[in-house]
Structure 1
Amino acid sequence: MSHAREVNFPEGFRIFDEGNRAETFWIVRSGTVTLEIPVPGHRSAPVESLGPGELVGWSWLFPPYVWQLCAEAMTPVRAYEFDGMTVRMLMDADPAFGSAVGQWVGRVLAHRLHQTRTRLLDLYAPH
């Protein structure tokens, strides 16, 4: 937490967009963030809503460090912001810390992949 800084996002603020450089991540303190996946020829599909204690952003951990989804503040959001490069250096310096962060982000990533797949099937699969 000594490397975190507190940030605020107003309702409707685009936190990041797919394809942009992923250099930071956030842990929500209060408010709601919606993750979306752009769908060519359609409106973006909301994938999941995130609240207090949840991780916003995992693309900072994996090269080429580019956002894979979009994120928007659905309510005013207070969050802790972390610099991805700094955290990656800390992970390299302390293998136990690196393993713990990698496992945490991996669990989040697996959950988000499942949520995205389920949401896209709900929206676009033949019924």
Structure 2
Amino acid sequence: MAVRGLERIVSEHPFFAGLDESFLDLVRGCAKNVRFSPNQHLFREGGPADQFYLIREGRVALEIAAPGYGAVTFQTVGEGDIVGVSWLFPPYRWTYDARAVDRVRAISLDGKCLRDKCEDDHSLGYDVMKRLVPILMNRLQATRLQVLDVYGKPAA
């Protein structure tokens, strides 16, 4: 895909919607197109968190390993969502698995590249954090509801 196409895709993704054009120029310098086949992992728990994904097409299951249960999906995300926020927080390791449910097309942003740009320009870093925190809060809420669903109502 031409660089121009990549610029448009990053600019139009809901996560970066409304981001200042100068910030978009910085972000796009960290981006590349990627694809995943069904059941292929985008990343695995414990591995180096070095990417951040803007999902363009397909669904991704976010999973945690549960002793006696195997992989438990706590949320499934799709087009317009993001996957992978551990690139921003030390020790930069994945805290869950992300697995393609079907064919996934995404933009992969190099985590170190983006982290360095956020560190160099704190206004960009603040804007990225304002976009990430609501997503983290929603994922935390989804996980809480999943736990309640799995374990049910406590005994009286």
Q: TM-score, normalised by structure 1?
A: 0.93
Between structures 1 and 2, the one with greater helix share: 2
Task: Indicate which of 31, 50, 74 corresponds to 2:77.
Answer: 50
Q: Check if 1:125 corresponds to 2:148.
A: no
CA deviation after TM superposition for structure 1 residue 62, in Å: 0.3
Give the % identical residues. Answer: 37
Q: TM-score, normalised by structure 2?
A: 0.77
Distance (whole Å) between structure 2 residues aligned to residue 51 and residue 44 of structure 1: 19
The corresponding residue for 1:38 is: 65
The corresponding residue for 2:108 is: 81
What SS is found at the alignment partner of 1:68? coil
Task: Indicate which of 2, 14, 19 corresponds to 2:46.
Answer: 19
Q: Is the 8 A contact 1:37 1:47 kept in 2?
A: yes
State the 4+ residue runs in structure 1 displaced beyond 4 angstroms: none
Q: Check if 1:105 corresponds to 2:132.
A: yes
Q: Check if 1:67 corresponds to 2:94.
A: yes
CA deviation after TM superposition for structure 1 residue 117, in Å: 1.4
Q: CA RMSD in A?
A: 1.2
Could you report, residue by residue, the CA deviation over 1:42-100 in whole angstroms, capped at 9, with x for unpaired residues?
Answer: 12211111111111001110001111111100010000001111101110111111101
Structure having greater relative contact order (Cα 8 Å, sep ≥ 6): 1
Structure showing greater Rg: 2
Could you report, residue by residue, the CA deviation over 1:9-62 in whole angstroms, capped at 9, with x for unpaired residues?
Answer: 001101111121111110001111111111122122111111111110011100
What SS is found at the alignment partner of 1:106? helix
Distance (whole Å) between structure 1 residues aligned to residue 95 and residue 149 of structure 2: 20
Distance (whole Å) between structure 2 residues aligned to residue 105 and residue 84 of structure 1: 14
Q: How many residues align?
A: 127
* Ranges in structure 1 where 5+ consecutive residues have no aligned partner: none
